[in-house]
Structures are given as structure tokens and as C-alpha cells.
Chains A and B, each alone.
Chain A
Amino acid sequence: MMLHQKRIFSITRFSRCAAFAAIVLTSSLTAAPITAPPAPGPATGLADPAALRATVYGTPPQDLAPLPARVPLSEMDIALPWTRPVPDVFWFDRKLRVWFSAQPQPAPLAIVISGTGSDGNTSKLSLLRAALYGAGYSVLTMPSPTFPGFIVSTSSTGVAGDLIQDGRDLYAAMQQVIAHLPQEVQITDIDILGYSLGGANAAIVKSIDAREHRLKIRRAVMINPPVSLFSSIGRLDKLFAVSIGGDAGIERLYQQLYAQLANLYRASDAVQIDENFLLGAAAAVLHSDKEFSAAIALTFRIALVNMFFAGDLYAGTGVVVDPKHPPKVGDSLEETARILRTKPFSEYFARVFAPYYLQHRPNSTRESLIADNRLDIIGDALRTDSDYYVQTNSDDLILDQQELAWLRATMGSRIAVYDHGGHLGNLGDRRQIADMLAMLGGRWKGASP
């Protein structure tokens, strides 16, 4: 982030808002210069203290893999022929927005898919883009199918979170995007990767391509993927429940944070809240496992609020949006947001996702929908096709031991399981990047002992 301390034009205040949002609300600092001592004992039973901290802070800057000095970057806004009528309140999400970095000479293209609820230009994607570009790839980064901008511009259903449907939509969008890349971009091969939910999306897209051959995707690398969406969202719901609780818990968390920040601010020499202050505050505010858990749970909850709202609007399920009177531009959505922030993933599944897919997918049941959203659905390909790879951590909080064991058994030697890092907490570090590049390049010889 480039933030400077200036005034006059109060648009600069946006920057601080953005920083405030990034740090205080989501606490997902990439490369934050902070290493807090682990507190004793897991507070949530879902992850150990080190995993929680790694998940929030990400890779320390000194541990990052070597990155190139310069990476060109372009942004593409593309209207897709199949976009459904765009609801008023989403007027700004009409087009799919992706980012690409083109090598000056013919080069393989790496397509990278973002994690739950995120756009195609997150700080995690920036790290991966830089590493891939440095290794000679042209790079295309795409939003998650659960990102509102994707749901509105690209999804053929408006109800995000189904591996198969999202995979099809992604695959169709990729073809459009690649067809519209500037002519000087010369692609020799296509590889695909993604992190978190994007990892699972990447593997599904490759499996679709294996049947349809439209892109001829060579290899796929999944970074910290879920194994069962339903089980991972269950773990995230639980993380929210134990670290924050319900609406009263959100209010309490806000009041506590407000008081902490106010006192920190009063004790600082700062005359305004800027990046440096917030960086310090993030270190001072988060102490206990419960607080780290809350930061992670809140990040996912914010993503869910957006996905829930869009899904309810498109599916007409009427949980918060009256299907007969959908909100218009200029309507206040504060009450809607207040209701949605209390709702867990399980409620999205029960009240929006399942009703929609039960109606639109012949012979489906709740159980079949859950089963359809496991990596099992491409289990055979993962077992037998040597072009799929996985990188994950033994302490990733979206996986349980059985799921990790399933991944190991299924992928055989094509998996790297690191001891530490939590969920994506080692993304961009030397070893993760070196292994990822070896996998993509077909040079992976199995995890070193």
C-alpha cells in the first residue's frame, strides 16, 4: 500500500479507511512486521496458537522468496455475453475484472484464482504473481467465484459456492478472457493454480478442461485447498461462534476494539490515524488466541455477508431480500447488513444454496449437494493424473486430520505438507514458492525428507 500522510484533499481519508478496513476489520496483514509470542494452549480447539498467528500475519517480509524488481500489470474489464440482468444495487459489478502481467516473449500462462470472497488483485495474489512472473510466466489473476463482482458479472446462477457450477463459470470466463488478451501476449502453455477455495476451483477447472480441451491446461497446483466445503464452513462457523458469538458478540468486539484503539491513539504521538499507527495498533490489539480467532472468523464472515446477500437476491429465497421489492440504488442497506452479519455459513447453505440447487439440479438431495462439494468428485483424476499438485500445512485450520490424511493418500508424492503456516500463513515464503514452481514446471520430485 502506498499511503502518505497528507490532508487538504480529504479523499486521502479513503486511504486510511482502506487501511483501517484491512487491518482492523480483517486483520489479514500480508508480510506484517510482527511476531507475537504464542499464548499457551489452543483457545478454540480448532487451531494452535502459532497457526492462528501465522494465518493472520502471513509470511514475515524477511522470509519472502526472491521477487523480481519490476512486474508489468494491466487490468481488464470484460463484459461477458451470458451476464444475467444486473440488479440495481450491483450497478458497479457489471463486468468481470481480471489482471494480467504479460512477458515480452512467448511464455507459459499461469492462471491464479483467489480465495473465498476475494477479488483478483489481493496482496496474496500479488505475491504469487510476482513469483510466477519472475520465473518466466505470464500471469492472469482472477477473482473467486464467491466474490460479488464475479457473482454478478460471470456466475450463471448468482448462487455461489458450488464447486461444479463455479468451475464451469470460471472455465467459460477464462476462455473469454484469454481470447481477448492483447495480441502481443503469446501463450505457449497454460497452468492453473489457486489458494484456499481457489485451489479447489483450479483443480475442478482442470478436470473440466480434461474433458473439453478448450484451454489444454497442463498442470494444476492447489494451495491450502479445502477437501469438503461443507466441513470447512462448519469449522469456520464454529470459529466464529467460539471467538465472537452472536450479534451481541459483534457489538462487544467493536466496543472493545474502539476503546483499545482510542487508548492507544491517546498514548501515541500521532496527530492522525495513519498506516504506521494502525500497524502498531494491530500488534497491540491482538493478543489472545480468541482475538486472533475472531480476526480470522470476521474476515470470512465479511465474505459470507456479501455472498449471502447476492445469493438471496438472485435465487429469490427471501431471507433478507424481498424478491418482489429488491433494493434499489440509493436504498439504505444497513439493516440488511446488520441481519446478515449474524448468519453463519450453515444458514446460507440451508436457506439459499440448498433450496436453489435442489430445485435446479435434478435428483439432488441435501446429502448429494454436500457430497458434490468434496474434492472426491475429481478423486480419480487427483489419484491418477500426475499433473495435479497440492501444497498445504499440517496445521491448516480449514482441514481436519481425516481430510489431511485423505489428501495425502490421494495425492501420493504430489503433495507438500509443511509443518507450520496455518491457513496460507506461509504463502510467498522461499520454500512454498520454490516447491510451487517445481510443481508447475514438472520438476517436483516429492517432498524432501
Chain B
Amino acid sequence: MKSPLLILAGSLALAGCASQGLKIHTLPEQTPAADAASAVRKAAEFAAAEKEAAASAGDRANLYEAPPVTPADAPSMRTYDPWEPLNRFTYRFNARFDEAVFLPVSNGYRRLPSPLRSGVHNFFGNLSEVDSTINFALQGRLGFGVRSLGRFLINSTIGIGGLFDVATKLNLTAAPTGFGTTLSKWGMHPGPYLVLPFLGPSTLRDGVGLLGDFGTSYAVDMGGLYRSTDKAWMLGVTNAVDQRSNVDFRYYSTGSAFEYETIRFLYVRRRLIEDEGLHADDPPKKRDVAEPAGQ
């Protein structure tokens, strides 16, 4: 268990001395032609999906009986953030850690061959289907639970231990969930805004949910990955690097003094809207989601 601590200490030391006058980073190569081609493809898919949605609009209207969300239901634009000084401190720490450690490592990782990276990505995605299946069951959304379980079974077998995402090719697309969403389904409000060290924006509820997810992975111990070896931390680090390398976010790329406020606003609104979706088919009296992190 010493190695991760050493890495952490080393990286923090690095974070402290990253302030020479000139720094040049080579970034992963851009692929404009491929990006444009995929945008064209997406546009076509999007148009097709829109057509389909328009055709089935009638059916869908009947599916949801809950009254629509009105502008009056919108939570306040202010966010409940009683731990703001601590949160801001953590945000700043995360920014520095990201710049000094996380980002350089994940940029290096992105130079590895793409089939290798997608194998890693699929592998962790597949592991998380276990947690998703359990949580969909806890949420009482059995259809989604069966989908997650199906994905897990298909990808673990035909997809060779999860290295290939065969299920998506079979039109069984990923729909991950977690314990934070389960808590929401059970009626728990998001509570105060919370910036987690290393992990970033969250709320008290989602933070607890995250602990639940880690705990679940550990308890299920799929394939003996987590408990049968003392190298499980390597799994965690690889997972973290995989996640980071797939996220196009850069701390303070806005240059703005209001970045903390902006991210807080967007994160909490996004989760509240997801809660609205989660509670749409609840009995009417339970439909009181929207207030928590807005005051």
C-alpha cells in the first residue's frame, strides 16, 4: 500500500515546482479529417433519430402521465453551498493536481495505440455493469437492470472478458447508473454542493453514492480483481487514467475568475434535471425533487 502514497507525494512535490517561465507540452495529434467525417455521420444519425422521434411522438406522450415541468418549478439560480471555502480550496487543489499529474499522465496514455486504450476502456466499462445492474434493481427499474446484466454477460463472454463492447454493436447501448442515483430514486435530496478531492464536483448525496459504488465493486469483487491481490490500487490508477484521458476538460481553460461558480451551477442543474427524469413516473406526491441544492 506504500506505492500509491509515494506516487501521490511525488506528484504533489511536482505540483509545487511547476512554475518555470516556459513550458511546452506536446499534445496528442489532432485528426481534423476524421473528426469532420464523424460529425457528418453523427448529423445523419441525428436526423434519422429525430425523424423516428417525431413519428413516435404520439405514443411517447401517453407514456408519461406526470404533469410537465414548468418554469415555475425551476430551482433557484443560486446553489446551496455551505461548505464553499473548503470546496473552493479543494477545487484549487484539484486544478493543480490535474495540471501537474493527471493531465500529463493521461496525455501520455493517449499516445498508446487506440485498440489498446479502447480495450482498457471497455474492460472498466464492463466491470461497472455489475454495479449498474445492482443499482437498477435497487431503483426498481428492472428493464434497465436486465439491459446492464445482458451487456455484462455478452461482453464478458463474446467480448473476451469485457475487452470488446460487442453489446453496443448488437444495439444494446450502455446506460450506466450508480448508488447516487439510487439514493435519489429513494427520495434523498442532493444536499450541499461538494467538491471531492481528485474527483471534482459532486453533492453530499452523490459523494455518498460514490462511496457506495466503490464499496459495491469491492464487495462483489468480480473475478477476484479487488481483494485477491495487493495490486488492486494499480487497477484503480489505470481506471482513473482511462477516465481522465476520455474527458475533454481543462481546469481554468475558461481563464475566468468565475469558473468555480459556473461549474457549480452547471453540475447541480444537470443533476437536478436528471432527478426530474428519474421521478417523472413516481406517484404525484413524491414528485418534489427539484428543490435541494437550490435553496
Q: Using CB atoms and an 8 Å cutoff, list the residues of chain A in contact with chain B.
A: 1-18, 20-21, 25, 31, 33-34, 60-62, 64, 66-79, 89-95, 99, 101, 119, 121, 126-127, 129-130, 134, 143, 147-150, 152, 180, 182, 251-252, 254-256, 258-259, 261-263, 265-268, 270-273, 279-280, 283, 305-306, 309-310, 327, 329-330, 332-334, 336-337
Task: Please give, as numbers and ranges, the residues of chain B lying within 8 Å of A327 by CB-CB distance.
Answer: 257
Q: How many A-B residue pairs have CB under 8 A?
A: 274
User: B273 near A329 (CB under 8 angstroms)?
Assistant: no
Cβ of B174 < 8 Å from any Cβ of A?
Answer: yes
Cβ of B247 < 8 Å from any Cβ of A?
Answer: yes
User: B60 near A92 (CB under 8 angstroms)?
Assistant: no
Q: Which of A3, A33, A76 contacts B43 (CB 8 A)?
A: A33
With A61-B40, A92-B251, A266-B64 known as contacts, the answer to whether A148 contacts B270 (CB < 8 A) is no
User: A17 near B201 (CB under 8 angstroms)?
Assistant: yes
User: B202 near A15 (CB under 8 angstroms)?
Assistant: no
User: B176 near A272 (CB under 8 angstroms)?
Assistant: yes
B231-243 contact mask (Cβ, 8 Å, vs A): 1 or 0 = 0000000011001
User: B248 near A2 (CB under 8 angstroms)?
Assistant: yes
User: A71 near B248 (CB under 8 angstroms)?
Assistant: no
Docked Cα-Cα span, A427 to B23, in Å, equals 31
Given A18-B249, A280-B46, A327-B257, list of 15 further CB < 8 A pairs? A6-B124, A7-B128, A9-B244, A11-B244, A13-B202, A66-B33, A73-B29, A129-B30, A134-B32, A258-B272, A262-B277, A266-B66, A266-B68, A272-B175, A273-B270
User: A76 near B262 (CB under 8 angstroms)?
Assistant: no
B86 to chain A, nearest CB (A): 9
Task: Please give, as numbers and ranges, the residues of chain A lying within 8 Å of B201 by CB-CB distance.
Answer: 10, 13-14, 17
Task: Please give, as numbers and ranges, the residues of chain A lying within 8 Å of B20 by CB-CB distance.
Answer: 79
With A7-B176, A10-B199, A33-B46 known as contacts, the answer to whether A68 contacts B32 (CB < 8 A) is yes
Docked Cα-Cα span, A102 to B26, in Å, equals 11
User: A93 near B255 (CB under 8 angstroms)?
Assistant: yes
The residue among B27, B40, B178, B257 with the most chain A CB atoms within 10 A of its own CB is B257
User: A62 near B243 (CB under 8 angstroms)?
Assistant: no
Q: Which of B72, B84, B274 contacts A255 (CB 8 A)?
A: B72
With A67-B33, A266-B276 known as contacts, the answer to whether A9 contacts B257 (CB < 8 A) is no
Task: Please give, as numbers and ranges, the residues of chain A lying within 8 Å of B19 by CB-CB distance.
Answer: 94
User: B258 near A305 (CB under 8 angstroms)?
Assistant: yes
User: A259 near B22 (CB under 8 angstroms)?
Assistant: no
User: B270 near A8 (CB under 8 angstroms)?
Assistant: no
User: B246 near A119 (CB under 8 angstroms)?
Assistant: no
B122 to chain A, nearest CB (A): 10
Docked Cα-Cα span, A142 to B69, in Å, equals 43
Task: Please give, as numbers and ranges, the residues of chain B lying within 8 Å of A76 by CB-CB distance.
Answer: 22-24
Task: Please give, as numbers and ranges, the residues of chain A lying within 8 Å of B239 by CB-CB distance.
Answer: 8-9
A127 to chain B, nearest CB (A): 8
Task: Please give, as numbers and ranges, the residues of chain A lying within 8 Å of B9 by CB-CB distance.
Answer: none
Cβ of B200 < 8 Å from any Cβ of A?
Answer: yes
A306 to chain B, nearest CB (A): 5
User: B69 near A71 (CB under 8 angstroms)?
Assistant: no
Considering only residues 190-214 of chain B, those with a C-beta below 8 Å from chain A are 196, 198-202, 206, 210, 213
User: A337 near B258 (CB under 8 angstroms)?
Assistant: yes
The residue among A11, A33, A69, A279 with the most chain B CB atoms within 10 A of its own CB is A11
Task: Please give, as numbers and ranges, the residues of chain B lying within 8 Å of A16 by CB-CB distance.
Answer: 270
